[in-house]
Structure 1
Protein backbone atom coordinates (compact mmCIF):
# COMPACT_ATOMS: atom_id res chain seq x y z
CA UNK A 1 0.00 0.00 0.00
CA UNK A 2 1.29 3.48 -0.80
CA UNK A 3 1.67 6.12 1.91
CA UNK A 4 -0.88 8.21 0.01
CA UNK A 5 -3.50 5.42 0.18
CA UNK A 6 -2.66 4.72 3.83
CA UNK A 7 -3.22 8.37 4.78
CA UNK A 8 -6.43 8.51 2.73
CA UNK A 9 -7.84 5.47 4.56
CA UNK A 10 -6.81 6.83 7.98
CA UNK A 11 -8.48 10.18 7.24
CA UNK A 12 -11.65 8.49 5.97
CA UNK A 13 -11.77 6.43 9.18
CA UNK A 14 -11.39 9.53 11.38
CA UNK A 15 -13.96 11.52 9.39
CA UNK A 16 -16.42 8.69 10.05
CA UNK A 17 -15.78 8.86 13.81
CA UNK A 18 -13.35 5.94 13.86
CA UNK A 19 -10.15 5.30 15.78
CA UNK A 20 -6.78 4.57 14.15
CA UNK A 21 -3.37 3.22 15.16
CA UNK A 22 -0.58 5.17 13.48
CA UNK A 23 3.15 5.96 13.61
CA UNK A 24 4.04 9.37 15.04
CA UNK A 25 7.14 11.44 15.69
CA UNK A 26 7.55 9.46 18.93
CA UNK A 27 5.90 6.09 19.68
CA UNK A 28 2.94 4.51 17.85
CA UNK A 29 -0.29 6.29 18.69
CA UNK A 30 -4.00 5.72 19.06
CA UNK A 31 -5.70 8.54 17.19
CA UNK A 32 -9.00 10.06 16.21
CA UNK A 33 -10.60 13.37 15.26
CA UNK A 34 -9.80 15.63 18.23
CA UNK A 35 -13.02 17.59 17.63
CA UNK A 36 -15.32 14.53 17.86
CA UNK A 37 -16.36 13.76 21.47
CA UNK A 38 -17.72 10.29 20.59
CA UNK A 39 -14.43 9.31 18.92
CA UNK A 40 -12.45 10.66 21.89
CA UNK A 41 -14.65 8.59 24.22
CA UNK A 42 -13.78 5.49 22.14
CA UNK A 43 -10.06 6.20 22.61
CA UNK A 44 -10.47 6.42 26.39
CA UNK A 45 -12.39 3.13 26.35
CA UNK A 46 -9.83 1.33 24.16
CA UNK A 47 -6.99 2.61 26.31
CA UNK A 48 -8.91 1.73 29.50
CA UNK A 49 -7.99 5.17 30.78
CA UNK A 50 -9.88 7.46 33.13
CA UNK A 51 -11.25 10.32 31.04
CA UNK A 52 -10.06 12.80 33.68
CA UNK A 53 -6.51 12.18 32.35
CA UNK A 54 -6.00 14.41 29.31
CA UNK A 55 -4.74 13.14 25.96
CA UNK A 56 -2.18 14.74 23.63
CA UNK A 57 -3.13 16.08 20.20
CA UNK A 58 -0.89 16.36 17.15
CA UNK A 59 -1.03 19.23 14.68
CA UNK A 60 1.00 19.93 11.55
CA UNK A 61 1.86 23.62 11.99
CA UNK A 62 2.09 26.71 14.17
CA UNK A 63 -1.10 28.02 12.56
CA UNK A 64 -3.05 24.88 13.41
CA UNK A 65 -1.80 24.96 17.02
CA UNK A 66 -3.06 28.54 17.34
CA UNK A 67 -6.50 27.43 16.16
CA UNK A 68 -6.94 25.38 19.37
CA UNK A 69 -5.55 27.75 22.02
CA UNK A 70 -6.87 31.24 22.74
CA UNK A 71 -3.47 32.82 23.57
CA UNK A 72 -0.20 31.01 22.95
CA UNK A 73 2.48 32.55 25.20
CA UNK A 74 5.70 33.68 23.50
CA UNK A 75 7.71 31.25 25.61
CA UNK A 76 5.83 28.36 23.93
CA UNK A 77 7.15 29.39 20.50
CA UNK A 78 10.65 29.81 21.91
CA UNK A 79 10.59 26.32 23.43
CA UNK A 80 9.12 24.74 20.30
CA UNK A 81 11.72 26.45 18.09
CA UNK A 82 14.69 25.33 20.18
CA UNK A 83 13.50 21.80 21.02
CA UNK A 84 15.79 19.16 19.55
CA UNK A 85 13.32 16.33 20.24
CA UNK A 86 9.52 16.15 20.04
CA UNK A 87 7.99 18.54 22.59
CA UNK A 88 4.41 18.56 23.82
CA UNK A 89 3.22 21.82 25.35
CA UNK A 90 0.28 22.02 27.74
CA UNK A 91 -1.44 25.35 27.24
CA UNK A 92 -4.37 27.12 28.91
CA UNK A 93 -7.41 28.32 27.03
CA UNK A 94 -8.21 25.31 24.84
CA UNK A 95 -10.91 25.95 22.25
CA UNK A 96 -12.50 24.16 19.29
CA UNK A 97 -11.77 20.65 20.56
CA UNK A 98 -13.97 17.88 21.94
CA UNK A 99 -14.95 18.84 25.50
CA UNK A 100 -13.87 15.44 26.87
CA UNK A 101 -10.38 16.09 25.51
CA UNK A 102 -9.87 19.34 27.39
CA UNK A 103 -8.60 19.07 30.98
CA UNK A 104 -10.77 20.32 33.84
CA UNK A 105 -8.59 23.44 34.11
CA UNK A 106 -9.24 24.31 30.45
CA UNK A 107 -5.81 23.26 29.20
CA UNK A 108 -4.82 21.06 26.27
CA UNK A 109 -1.62 19.19 25.38
CA UNK A 110 -0.50 19.85 21.80
CA UNK A 111 2.53 18.88 19.75
CA UNK A 112 3.58 20.05 16.30
CA UNK A 113 4.85 16.96 14.50
CA UNK A 114 7.65 17.09 11.95
CA UNK A 115 7.74 13.35 11.22
CA UNK A 116 6.70 12.92 7.55
CA UNK A 117 3.79 10.46 7.95
CA UNK A 118 2.05 12.07 10.94
CA UNK A 119 2.69 15.59 9.62
CA UNK A 120 1.06 14.77 6.27
CA UNK A 121 -1.80 12.98 8.06
CA UNK A 122 -2.50 16.07 10.20
CA UNK A 123 -2.07 18.43 7.24
CA UNK A 124 -4.46 16.53 5.01
CA UNK A 125 -6.99 15.95 7.81
CA UNK A 126 -6.99 19.71 8.49
CA UNK A 127 -7.73 19.21 12.19
CA UNK A 128 -5.92 18.17 15.35
CA UNK A 129 -5.51 14.40 15.72
CA UNK A 130 -5.52 12.69 19.11
CA UNK A 131 -2.16 11.05 19.78
CA UNK A 132 -1.98 8.89 22.86
CA UNK A 133 0.51 6.04 23.12
CA UNK A 134 -0.64 2.71 21.69
CA UNK A 135 -0.98 0.78 24.92
CA UNK A 136 -3.47 -0.04 27.63
CA UNK A 137 -3.14 2.58 30.36
CA UNK A 138 -0.28 1.65 32.69
CA UNK A 139 1.43 -0.67 30.19
CA UNK A 140 4.62 0.22 28.24
CA UNK A 141 4.15 2.39 25.15
CA UNK A 142 4.50 0.65 21.76
CA UNK A 143 7.76 1.96 20.32
CA UNK A 144 7.23 0.05 17.07
CA UNK A 145 4.30 -1.66 15.36
CA UNK A 146 5.49 -5.09 16.56
CA UNK A 147 5.07 -3.89 20.18
CA UNK A 148 1.33 -3.21 19.86
CA UNK A 149 -0.88 -5.65 21.80
CA UNK A 150 -3.35 -7.69 19.74
CA UNK A 151 -6.12 -6.36 21.99
CA UNK A 152 -5.47 -2.85 20.63
CA UNK A 153 -5.11 -3.99 17.03
CA UNK A 154 -8.55 -5.62 17.33
CA UNK A 155 -10.15 -2.63 19.07
CA UNK A 156 -9.45 0.12 16.52
CA UNK A 157 -11.11 0.78 13.16
CA UNK A 158 -7.96 1.16 11.05
CA UNK A 159 -4.28 0.28 11.51
CA UNK A 160 -1.87 2.25 9.32
CA UNK A 161 0.58 0.30 7.15
CA UNK A 162 3.35 2.91 7.06
CA UNK A 163 6.45 2.19 9.15
CA UNK A 164 5.22 -1.24 10.28
CA UNK A 165 8.59 -2.83 9.44
CA UNK A 166 10.54 -0.35 11.55
CA UNK A 167 12.49 -1.70 14.54
CA UNK A 168 14.28 1.08 16.35
CA UNK A 169 14.04 2.75 19.74
CA UNK A 170 11.48 5.52 20.14
CA UNK A 171 10.49 7.41 23.25
CA UNK A 172 7.56 9.59 24.25
CA UNK A 173 7.86 13.36 23.86
CA UNK A 174 9.00 15.76 26.52
CA UNK A 175 6.05 17.56 28.10
CA UNK A 176 6.14 21.13 29.38
CA UNK A 177 3.22 22.91 31.10
CA UNK A 178 3.08 26.63 30.25
CA UNK A 179 0.72 28.94 32.06
CA UNK A 180 -0.48 32.31 30.79
CA UNK A 181 1.30 34.00 33.73
CA UNK A 182 4.65 32.73 32.39
CA UNK A 183 5.04 29.84 34.84
CA UNK A 184 6.84 26.83 33.29
CA UNK A 185 6.66 23.29 34.68
CA UNK A 186 8.51 20.31 33.21
CA UNK A 187 6.13 17.32 33.34
CA UNK A 188 8.29 14.80 31.45
CA UNK A 189 11.81 15.14 30.08
Structure 2
Protein backbone atom coordinates (compact mmCIF):
# COMPACT_ATOMS: atom_id res chain seq x y z
CA UNK A 1 0.00 0.00 0.00
CA UNK A 2 1.37 3.37 -0.94
CA UNK A 3 1.15 6.39 1.31
CA UNK A 4 -1.02 8.07 -1.33
CA UNK A 5 -3.50 5.16 -1.38
CA UNK A 6 -3.67 5.25 2.40
CA UNK A 7 -4.36 9.02 2.42
CA UNK A 8 -7.19 8.60 -0.09
CA UNK A 9 -8.75 5.78 1.94
CA UNK A 10 -8.45 7.77 5.19
CA UNK A 11 -10.32 10.68 3.53
CA UNK A 12 -13.09 8.46 2.14
CA UNK A 13 -13.54 6.67 5.47
CA UNK A 14 -13.61 10.01 7.29
CA UNK A 15 -16.42 11.26 5.04
CA UNK A 16 -18.54 8.23 5.95
CA UNK A 17 -17.75 8.50 9.67
CA UNK A 18 -18.56 12.21 9.85
CA UNK A 19 -21.99 11.51 8.33
CA UNK A 20 -22.71 8.95 11.08
CA UNK A 21 -21.93 6.03 8.78
CA UNK A 22 -20.32 2.66 9.32
CA UNK A 23 -17.04 1.60 7.76
CA UNK A 24 -15.42 -1.78 7.19
CA UNK A 25 -11.67 -1.46 7.64
CA UNK A 26 -8.41 -3.31 8.39
CA UNK A 27 -7.08 -3.01 11.94
CA UNK A 28 -4.08 -4.25 13.88
CA UNK A 29 -6.04 -7.45 14.60
CA UNK A 30 -8.91 -8.44 12.28
CA UNK A 31 -11.11 -6.58 9.77
CA UNK A 32 -13.45 -4.42 11.77
CA UNK A 33 -16.74 -2.57 11.59
CA UNK A 34 -16.30 0.95 12.88
CA UNK A 35 -18.01 4.22 13.59
CA UNK A 36 -17.47 7.44 15.51
CA UNK A 37 -17.46 6.30 19.16
CA UNK A 38 -19.19 9.52 20.24
CA UNK A 39 -22.20 9.02 17.92
CA UNK A 40 -24.89 6.94 19.68
CA UNK A 41 -26.97 6.48 16.50
CA UNK A 42 -23.96 5.12 14.62
CA UNK A 43 -23.14 2.78 17.53
CA UNK A 44 -26.75 1.52 17.44
CA UNK A 45 -26.37 0.79 13.70
CA UNK A 46 -23.43 -1.51 14.52
CA UNK A 47 -25.47 -3.46 17.09
CA UNK A 48 -28.24 -3.85 14.52
CA UNK A 49 -25.87 -4.90 11.70
CA UNK A 50 -24.13 -7.47 13.91
CA UNK A 51 -27.50 -8.63 15.30
CA UNK A 52 -25.94 -8.14 18.70
CA UNK A 53 -27.62 -7.31 21.99
CA UNK A 54 -26.60 -3.79 22.96
CA UNK A 55 -25.84 -4.98 26.49
CA UNK A 56 -22.70 -6.60 24.99
CA UNK A 57 -20.24 -3.72 24.95
CA UNK A 58 -18.04 -2.94 21.94
CA UNK A 59 -14.33 -2.09 21.80
CA UNK A 60 -13.10 1.30 20.73
CA UNK A 61 -9.67 2.41 19.62
CA UNK A 62 -7.63 5.54 20.28
CA UNK A 63 -4.38 6.52 18.59
CA UNK A 64 -2.32 7.59 21.61
CA UNK A 65 -2.18 7.86 25.40
CA UNK A 66 -3.42 11.46 25.28
CA UNK A 67 -6.70 10.39 23.66
CA UNK A 68 -6.96 7.47 26.09
CA UNK A 69 -6.62 9.84 29.06
CA UNK A 70 -9.29 12.11 27.59
CA UNK A 71 -11.83 9.24 27.54
CA UNK A 72 -11.07 7.47 30.84
CA UNK A 73 -11.49 9.37 34.13
CA UNK A 74 -8.50 7.72 35.77
CA UNK A 75 -6.12 5.54 33.76
CA UNK A 76 -4.39 3.18 36.24
CA UNK A 77 -0.58 3.36 36.06
CA UNK A 78 -0.55 -0.42 35.50
CA UNK A 79 -2.22 0.15 32.10
CA UNK A 80 0.88 1.87 30.71
CA UNK A 81 3.10 -0.96 31.90
CA UNK A 82 0.83 -3.59 30.33
CA UNK A 83 0.64 -1.69 27.03
CA UNK A 84 4.39 -1.05 26.92
CA UNK A 85 5.29 -4.74 27.35
CA UNK A 86 2.42 -6.32 25.38
CA UNK A 87 3.64 -8.50 22.52
CA UNK A 88 0.31 -8.51 20.67
CA UNK A 89 -2.48 -5.93 20.35
CA UNK A 90 -4.05 -5.56 23.78
CA UNK A 91 -7.40 -4.07 24.73
CA UNK A 92 -7.93 -2.91 28.30
CA UNK A 93 -11.33 -2.55 29.95
CA UNK A 94 -11.29 0.64 32.04
CA UNK A 95 -13.59 1.91 34.79
CA UNK A 96 -15.43 5.23 34.34
CA UNK A 97 -15.17 6.06 30.62
CA UNK A 98 -15.99 9.60 29.52
CA UNK A 99 -16.92 11.47 26.36
CA UNK A 100 -18.23 8.52 24.32
CA UNK A 101 -21.73 7.43 23.31
CA UNK A 102 -23.71 6.10 26.29
CA UNK A 103 -24.66 2.90 24.42
CA UNK A 104 -20.97 2.07 24.07
CA UNK A 105 -20.50 1.91 27.84
CA UNK A 106 -21.12 -1.43 29.59
CA UNK A 107 -23.71 -1.76 32.37
CA UNK A 108 -20.90 -1.79 34.97
CA UNK A 109 -19.67 1.62 33.70
CA UNK A 110 -16.62 0.25 31.88
CA UNK A 111 -15.29 0.57 28.36
CA UNK A 112 -12.83 -1.58 26.40
CA UNK A 113 -10.20 0.60 24.69
CA UNK A 114 -7.17 -0.32 22.59
CA UNK A 115 -4.33 2.09 21.84
CA UNK A 116 -3.84 1.06 18.24
CA UNK A 117 -0.47 0.65 16.52
CA UNK A 118 -1.52 0.39 12.89
CA UNK A 119 -0.70 3.11 10.35
CA UNK A 120 -4.11 3.31 8.68
CA UNK A 121 -6.06 3.28 11.98
CA UNK A 122 -3.71 5.78 13.62
CA UNK A 123 -4.19 8.22 10.75
CA UNK A 124 -7.95 7.73 10.60
CA UNK A 125 -8.36 8.31 14.35
CA UNK A 126 -5.99 11.29 14.25
CA UNK A 127 -8.06 13.05 11.59
CA UNK A 128 -11.39 12.02 13.12
CA UNK A 129 -10.15 13.44 16.43
CA UNK A 130 -12.28 10.95 18.36
CA UNK A 131 -12.16 7.29 19.36
CA UNK A 132 -13.25 4.79 16.72
CA UNK A 133 -15.47 1.79 17.44
CA UNK A 134 -13.82 -1.46 16.40
CA UNK A 135 -15.73 -4.72 16.41
CA UNK A 136 -15.09 -7.83 14.35
CA UNK A 137 -16.73 -7.90 10.91
CA UNK A 138 -19.20 -10.70 11.59
CA UNK A 139 -22.73 -11.32 12.80
CA UNK A 140 -22.76 -12.11 16.54
CA UNK A 141 -22.21 -15.80 17.32
CA UNK A 142 -20.64 -16.36 13.86
CA UNK A 143 -16.89 -17.00 13.54
CA UNK A 144 -14.61 -13.97 13.30
CA UNK A 145 -13.36 -13.63 9.69
CA UNK A 146 -9.61 -14.18 9.52
CA UNK A 147 -9.31 -12.25 6.24
CA UNK A 148 -11.30 -9.87 4.05
CA UNK A 149 -12.39 -12.78 1.82
CA UNK A 150 -14.25 -14.40 4.74
CA UNK A 151 -16.49 -11.38 5.46
CA UNK A 152 -20.17 -12.13 4.79
CA UNK A 153 -22.23 -10.37 2.14
CA UNK A 154 -24.59 -9.20 4.92
CA UNK A 155 -21.76 -7.22 6.57
CA UNK A 156 -20.34 -5.93 3.27
CA UNK A 157 -23.74 -4.57 2.23
CA UNK A 158 -24.54 -3.24 5.70
CA UNK A 159 -21.74 -0.68 5.95
CA UNK A 160 -21.56 2.72 4.27
CA UNK A 161 -17.95 2.42 3.15
CA UNK A 162 -15.53 -0.48 2.64
CA UNK A 163 -11.93 0.70 2.93
CA UNK A 164 -10.16 -0.33 -0.26
CA UNK A 165 -7.17 -1.98 1.40
CA UNK A 166 -8.24 -5.62 1.09
CA UNK A 167 -4.65 -6.75 0.60
CA UNK A 168 -3.64 -5.13 3.88
CA UNK A 169 -2.06 -7.76 6.10
CA UNK A 170 -3.50 -8.01 9.60
CA UNK A 171 -2.78 -10.29 12.54
CA UNK A 172 -6.03 -12.21 11.77
CA UNK A 173 -6.59 -12.75 15.50
CA UNK A 174 -8.58 -10.68 17.98
CA UNK A 175 -6.68 -8.67 20.58
CA UNK A 176 -5.95 -9.82 24.09
CA UNK A 177 -8.43 -8.30 26.56
CA UNK A 178 -7.56 -7.36 30.13
CA UNK A 179 -9.96 -5.85 32.68
CA UNK A 180 -8.10 -3.37 34.83
CA UNK A 181 -10.05 -1.99 37.78
CA UNK A 182 -9.21 1.24 39.57
CA UNK A 183 -8.95 -0.97 42.68
CA UNK A 184 -5.82 -2.58 41.17
CA UNK A 185 -7.56 -5.84 40.26
CA UNK A 186 -6.36 -7.36 36.95
CA UNK A 187 -8.42 -10.00 35.11
CA UNK A 188 -7.39 -11.57 31.80
CA UNK A 189 -10.62 -11.83 29.78
CA UNK A 190 -9.08 -13.12 26.52
CA UNK A 191 -5.46 -14.11 25.89
Q: TM-score, normalised by structure 2?
A: 0.95
| 1:170–1:68 CA distance, 2 compared to 1 (3 A) | same
Are 1:178 and 2:190 counterparts? no
* 1:49 corresponds to: 52
Are 1:160 and 2:163 counterparts? yes
1:147 offset after TM fit, Å?
Answer: 1.2
* 1:103 corresponds to: 106
1:165 offset after TM fit, Å?
Answer: 2.2
Q: Distance in 2 between matches of 1:38 and 1:106?
A: 19
* 1:21 corresponds to: 24
Q: Which runs of 5+ in 2 are unaligned?
A: none
1:82 offset after TM fit, Å?
Answer: 0.6
Q: Tell me, what secondary structure is at the counterpart of 2:155?
A: helix
1:55 offset after TM fit, Å?
Answer: 0.2
Q: Is the Cα–Cα contact under 8 Å of residues 61 and 133 in structure 2 kept in the other structure?
A: yes
Q: Is the Cα–Cα contact under 8 Å of residues 31 and 145 in structure 2 kept in the other structure?
A: yes
Are 1:141 and 2:144 counterparts? yes
Q: Which runs of 5+ in 1 are unaligned?
A: none
Q: Tell me, what secondary structure is at the counterpart of 1:111?
A: strand
| 1:108–1:168 CA distance, 2 compared to 1 (3 A) | closer
Q: Distance in 2 between matches of 1:153 and 1:173?
A: 22
Superposed structure 1 runs of 4+ greater than 3 Å apart: 166-169
Q: Is the Cα–Cα contact under 8 Å of residues 34 and 40 in structure 1 kept in the other structure?
A: yes
* 1:79 corresponds to: 82
* 1:12 corresponds to: 15
Q: Distance in 2 between matches of 1:187 and 1:167?
A: 25
Q: Tell me, what secondary structure is at the counterpart of 1:185?
A: strand
Cα deviation 1:120-162 (Å, max 9, x = unaligned): 1111111000000000001111222111101100011000002
Q: Tell me, what secondary structure is at the counterpart of 2:183?
A: coil
Q: TM-score, normalised by structure 1?
A: 0.96
* 1:187 corresponds to: 189
